[in-house]
Amino acid sequence: MTMLWVHAEATDGKVATITLEMLAKARELAEHVGCVMVGDADAVAAELGAHGASIVFSTGDLDGGLAGPALAAGLAAAIGAGAIPDAILFGTTQDGRDIAGRLSVKLDAPVITNVVDLEAGEGSLIATEPIFGGVTNVKTVFTSDKPGIFLVRPKSFEAVSVDGGAAKVAPLAVPDLGATGGARVVNRHVEESDGPKLDEAAIVVSGGRGLGDAEKFSIIEDLAKALGGAAGASRAVVDAGWVPFSYQVGQTGKVVKPDLYIAAGISGATQHMVGMKGSKTIIAINKDSEAPIFGVADLGIVGDVHKVLPQLLEALANR
């Protein structure tokens, strides 16, 4: 591969982990690695450069406009003008999906989604994607000579800095978006949580529907705190409104790969399993002995979370 572009995402001048993970892989696969982004590129050029990007193309601030239509239009225009990468990697995030989807229409080229690995093939990248909740892997290649568009799942690669110098910053012009640019962000809300971040914590304690009701979720927070970890949740619990989306572990939420994952009252739906199966060690507590979660647990306890967890907390407190 000659040139790969990686979509960079950042919050308050800090580059998202998924971006750094993709840069590590891109560096391995291509001679030249560039980043494409919306927002303030100067604030992140040093960090992106340290991780192997030589150049960052940015649309600059969008004044409340959404990344999807703007970056897709900017990229399509750049590609049309002859700046043609072999492929563009996007993280499986809200904005990543928006941009990749719109760009695919502009280039009339498909997107390969849910990518967990990339390798160099003959003139094309070969992507690996898990299907059926990770039971089977398929390998896919693009059959056209258009730039490949890949959506990469978080935690697929390890972010490693190579102490490269700051990336050069270059503007990416955004053509007139017409109606597609009509949406405006008028306010941003950050849902703060204490302790380590869910997708970075070494220990994650997650609760599911088996807890019974919203008030009982506090025991998950208590156990996470006692172990110095982060609290997570299954989709069922988030959908029921017990905890915010930022807690969700799974296909639609966060992918976590902690040293230790404790699943309490979680049966182990495919949707959940794809988000936590990569954990080093898994402990599951569930009253249903047939729950699929036991199939991936290193230690499984068939029992009532309302009995086992208080006992466990007390034992930890008495140490």
Residue closest to 4 by CA, chosen among 20, 18, 23: 23
Q: Which helix (H) or strand (E) holds 80?
A: helix 67-80
By CB under 8 A, how many residues form the interface with other proteins?
96
Q: What φ, ψ does residue 73 adopt, rounded to 5°?
A: -65, -40
Positions 265 through 284 that interact with other proteins (CB under 8 A): 270-271, 277, 281, 283
Using CB under 8 A as the binding rule, whether residue 200 contacts other proteins is answered as no
Using rule CB under 8 A, residue 161 touches other proteins: no
Q: Nearest distance from residue 176's CB to other proteins, in Å?
A: 12
Distance CA 245, CA 238 (A): 6
Residue 306, interface with other proteins (CB under 8 A)? no
Phi/psi region, residue 218 (left: phi>0; alpha: psi -120 to 50; beta: rest), is: alpha
Among positions 175, 182, 195, 212, the unique one binding other proteins when judged by CB under 8 A: 182
Residue 138 binding other proteins, by CB under 8 A: yes
Measured from the CB atom, the residue of 9 and 221 that comes closer to other proteins is 9
Partnered with residue 32 across adjacent β-strands are: 3
By C-alpha distance, which of 111, 169, 162, 165 is closest to 140?
Answer: 111
Nearest distance from residue 144's CB to other proteins, in Å? 5
- Binding region for other proteins (CB under 8 A) out of 36-44, 47-55, 210-218, 241-249: 241-249
d(CA 141, CA 130): 14
Of the candidate residues 29, 54, 83, 106, the single one contacting other proteins (CB under 8 A) = 106
State how far the Cα of 292 lies from the Cα of 281, in Å rounded to an integer.
16
Contact flag: residue 130 with other proteins (CB under 8 A): yes
- Kindly identify the residues of this chain, within the stretch 34-73, that bind other proteins according to CB under 8 A: 66, 68-69, 72
Q: Does 159 bind other proteins (CB under 8 A)?
A: no
Site for other proteins (CB under 8 A): which residue of 54, 83, 296, 306? 296
Q: Which stretch binds other proteins (CB under 8 A): 78-86, 165-173, 207-215, 290-298?
A: 290-298
| Using rule CB under 8 A, residue 135 touches other proteins | yes
Distance from the Cα of residue 253 to its chain's centroid: 8
Q: Residue 265 CA to chain centroid, in angstroms?
A: 24
Indicate the DSSP class of residue 82. T
- The piece of 31-39, 45-53, 79-87, 303-311 that touches other proteins (CB under 8 A) is 303-311
Query: Pick from 190, 194, 213, 215: which binds other proteins (CB under 8 A)?
Result: 190
- Between residue 214 and residue 233, which ones bind other proteins under the rule CB under 8 A? 227
CB 278 within 8 A of CB 223: no
Nearest one of 112, 99, 195 to 146, comparing CA atoms: 112
- Measured from the CB of residue 179, what is the shortest distance to other proteins in angstroms? 6
